[in-house]
């Protein structure tokens, strides 16, 4: 995002210091002065209505549970980020190897209702393709083989002009 939109402040957030150290090396090498990296879990930031675009790529652990509206603190923090008419895009990939069943239509319906209760309307729901993974620049998604050997799900929500 920072590379594609030089006139936009981009905030990269990860609870993993190792992941951010890798990203920081790229930021320096590519000279991206519009990118701010924060090493914090999303639920500890207290940010609200700050973003036009929020992306969550292939979360695991508590971020995955939050993205799926299973961890209330993380879910609430994710829902607070988009501004009115802001977009929240999530690419998810869950298989039995992850210790849970792959996401099905019932899961999507439950997640859609949960986000709707926070003023976020599901605008797009489809399988993730390799093109999506490449466009996102997600090295984790590439390593997982999402869109090739592993299924993925893209969910795109838009915040109502008046949050619920």
**Alpha carbon distance 32, 24 (integer Å):** 10
Same domain? For 106 and 55 the reply is yes
pLDDT in single tens digits along all 164 residues of the chain:
777 788 888 887 778 788 778 777 877 788 888 887 888 888 988 888 888 999 999 898 899 999 999 999 999 999 999 999 999 999 999 988 878 888 899 999 999 999 999 999 999 999 999 999 988 887 778 888 888 888 999 999 999 965 44
CA 119 to chain centre: 17
What is the span of the domain harbouring residue 19? 1-40
Q: What does the radius of gyration of the chain's CA atoms come to, in whole angstroms?
A: 15
Q: Do 56 and 113 fall within a single domain? A: yes
Please check whether residue 43 is in contact with residue 72, taking contact to mean a CB–CB distance below 8 angstroms. Answer: no
Residue 164 lies in a domain: no
* 105 in the same domain as 73: yes
82 and 144 housed in the same domain: yes
Tally of domains in the chain: 2
The CATH number of the domain where 68 resides is what? 3.40.50.150
């Amino acid at each position: 995002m920072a590379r594609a939109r030089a006139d936009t402040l981009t905030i990269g957030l990860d609870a993993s210091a190792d992941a951010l150290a890798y990203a920081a090396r790229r930021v320096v090498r590519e000279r991206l002065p519009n990118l701010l990296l924060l090493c914090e879990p999303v639920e500890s930031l207290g940010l609200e209505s700050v973003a036009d675009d929020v992306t969550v790529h292939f979360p695991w652990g508590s971020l995955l549970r939050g993205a799926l509206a299973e961890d209330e603190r993380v879910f609430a923090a994710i829902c607070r980020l988009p501004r009115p008419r802001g977009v929240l895009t999530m690419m998810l990939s869950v298989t039995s190897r992850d210790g849970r069943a792959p996401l099905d239509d019932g899961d999507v319906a439950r997640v859609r209702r949960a986000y709707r209760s926070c003023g976020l309307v599901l605008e797009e729901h489809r399988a993730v393709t390799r093109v999506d993974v490449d466009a996102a620049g997600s090295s984790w998604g590439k390593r997982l083989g999402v869109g090739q050997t592993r299924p993925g799900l893209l969910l795109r929500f838009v915040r109502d002009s008046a949050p619920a």
